[in-house]
Amino acid sequence: MPSKPDESGIFGALADPTRRAILRLLRRGSKSAGDIAAAFDLAKPTLSHHFAVLRRSGLVRAERRGTSIVYTLQTSALEEVAAELLELVAPVTSAASAAGRSGGLGRARKERLP
């Protein structure tokens, strides 16, 4: 079973515009490192660093095919983080809302009293 993605690593990876551009390229399908590099005017070590950050974050998977390394977008990591973010902004239920307004004790405590 795959481990849960490191959210701080994902946010760090997404913070860089070049890495976001690489992810946009990979939305259209897997690409070799050379194909990705052709879209950027960056030195090889700089691109290698970006690829490493994306791999560590779990946003891309790298696979060696002959002499090439092919990168594939891993949408599951993004989906998990997106779900976490949506939970943060989702409307709360009335019981949770009442507990939040009264410091967490209000309604639950009142319901237990005779």
Whether residue 1 is contained in a domain is answered as no
Whether residue 15 is contained in a domain is answered as yes
In this prediction, residue 105 carries a pLDDT of 47
Whether residue 55 is contained in a domain is answered as yes
Whether residue 58 is contained in a domain is answered as yes
Q: Give the chain's domain count.
A: 1
Whether residue 105 is contained in a domain is answered as yes
pTM attached to this predicted model: 0.70
| Neighbour order of strands in the sheet with 31-32 | 31-32, 68-73, 60-65
Q: Where does 15-105 have alpha helices with state H?
A: 17-27, 33-38, 44-57, 75-89, 94-101
Whether residue 98 is contained in a domain is answered as yes
Secondary structure element (H or E) that encloses residue 10, with its range = helix 7-14
Cα torsion 11, 18, 58, 49: sign: negative
Higher pLDDT: 82 or 62? It is: 62
**What CATH number does the domain containing 106 carry?**
1.10.10.10
Q: How many CB atoms lie within 10 A of CB 70?
A: 18
Backbone angles phi, psi at 105, to 5 degrees: -115, -30
- Identify the domain containing residue 108 by its residue range: 7-112
pLDDT in tens, 4-31: 556 678 989 999 999 999 999 999 999 9
Whether residue 47 is contained in a domain is answered as yes
Whether residue 2 is contained in a domain is answered as no
